[in-house]
Amino acid sequence: MSEFRIDQITNQSGSRGPDIAGITTFTGTSGMVMPSGPTEYRGGRGRGVFAGAYDAPATINVIDYITIATLGNALDFGDLSEGKNNSSSVSSSVRGIIAGGRNPSISSLINYVTISSTGNGFVFGDLTVARRTAASVSNNTRGVFAGGDTPARVNTIDYVTIASLGDAVEFGELDVATNTFNGASSSTRGVISGGEIAGSSNVNVISYLTIATTGNNKDFGDLTAGRRGAGSCSSPTRALTGGGNTGSITNIIDYVTIASLGDAIDFGDLTQSRWLMTSTSSATRGIWGGGYNPSPALEYDIIDYVTIASLGDAIDFGNLQSSKRSFSSCSDAHGGLG
């Protein structure tokens, strides 16, 4: 077989070599396809990031991370630009956004990190209203923050464009001012669940919004029990809500099909009853980390996981760097990213 030398190919005058343009495919075993697209999208995804927390007796700025597809303990990622608890997080496949929270005053500050790397948080901008305990949902483009408290409950919904820097912009309003609740996403729809409203210790309401638009939330259905301080995560099709305070501390996990409307169905149980934990996911696996049980007063470093497409109880994943509560999490592979 003769050798084919591309460096000896020229045009008729011998003044230049070949130009390669467009898309070329081949079926042989000796070729190479050059990577394409922005460099930050190349390589594996599937990292979960846990940011800030109340780690008694202090509020901390520590960021942990895990690889969701594996099992094991969380590792150090870096630090937020300020310590905060009760923040809210959203993410694209590249960037994690950590917004609001408290330390000791209630903050409007938004930080961001590049999820595939490790390092400290950088300033992104500010929420339209300084608040804590907001619910948050996102797709690969936009992150939405709903409700929370100042400490008075608010019905504010605002959003950011994750790839840019800047302050949040008005999205709409909740039908009822709510705090201490949580959100999960498909690429088109955000589902927000439970929480606490005036005159009630907890509610069972599930509502939804369309992430790419602006507007108010709409009724979706009900959880199996009213609860606040739970943790929610999702695949592209299914949203799960686990743990929380129903009047007592629970380990119940519910689920809904995001594209439909209707009441939640029992999924299984967490390994430990607790609330004020956080939850994130890949497209296949749901993760819950940390949390608190007031009787006896105990913070947890537990990380649980489930396979979202199945039903069943959570399984031990590993441990956070420390026992903590009242923090937020995000990932570069959650259900809102398709």
One-character DSSP codes across 76-121: EEEE-SS--BS-EEEE-SSEEEEE--BSSSB--EEEEEETTS----
Tens-level pLDDT at each residue, the chain (338 residues)? 455 455 566 666 666 665 544 444 444 445 544 444 444 344 468 999 999 999 989 999 999 999 999 999 999 999 999 999 999 999 999 999 999 999 999 999 999 999 999 999 999 999 999 999 999 999 999 999 999 999 999 999 999 999 999 999 999 999 999 999 999 999 999 999 999 999 888 999 999 999 999 999 999 999 999 999 999 999 999 999 999 999 999 999 999 999 999 999 999 999 999 999 999 999 999 999 999 999 889 999 999 999 999 999 999 999 999 999 999 999 999 999 98
Enter the tokens of residue 313: 């109880």
Q: Identify the pLDDT of residue 16.
A: 65
* Strand-by-strand arrangement of the 88-91 sheet: 88-91, 95-99, 109-114, 122-126
For 268-317, the pLDDT digits (tens) are 999 999 999 999 999 999 999 999 999 889 999 999 999 999 999 999 99
DSSP 17: -
| 7 within some domain | no
266-269 CB contacts, 8 Å cutoff, 24+ apart: 266/224, 267/240, 267/242, 267/306, 267/311, 267/312, 268/306, 268/311, 268/312, 268/313, 268/314, 269/313, 269/314
| 41 within some domain | no
Closest CA to 204 of 245, 160, 152: 245
What's the angle, vertex CA 48, arms to CA 77 and CA 212, rounded to 5? 120
| 9 within some domain | no
Q: What's the structural domain count of the chain?
A: 1
Q: How far is CA 181 from CA 65, 146, 326, in A?
A: 23, 9, 12
For 64-110, the pLDDT digits (tens) are 999 999 999 999 999 999 999 999 999 999 999 999 999 999 999 99
CA–CA separation, 151 and 54 (whole Å): 17
Q: How far is CA 293 from CA 42, 112, 274, 277, 290, in A?
A: 41, 30, 5, 10, 10
Q: Identify the pLDDT of residue 3.
A: 53
Q: Identify the pLDDT of residue 229.
A: 97
| 17 within some domain | no
CA–CA separation, 175 and 103 (whole Å): 28
Query: Taking the model in full, what pTM does it have?
Result: 0.87
Closest CA to 69 of 239, 323, 336, 318: 318
Question: Whole domain around residue 247: which residue ranges?
Answer: 48-337
CA–CA separation, 13 and 70 (whole Å): 58
| 43 within some domain | no
CATH number at residue 318: 2.120.10.80
CB 202, CB 195: distance < 8 Å: yes
| 282 within some domain | yes
CA–CA separation, 208 and 305 (whole Å): 25
Q: How far is CA 34 from CA 20, 25, 42, 289, 302, in A?
A: 12, 11, 11, 39, 42
Residue 92's CB: how many other CB atoms inside 10 A? 24
| 5 within some domain | no
| 208 within some domain | yes
Phi and psi (nearest 5°) for 337? -95, 5
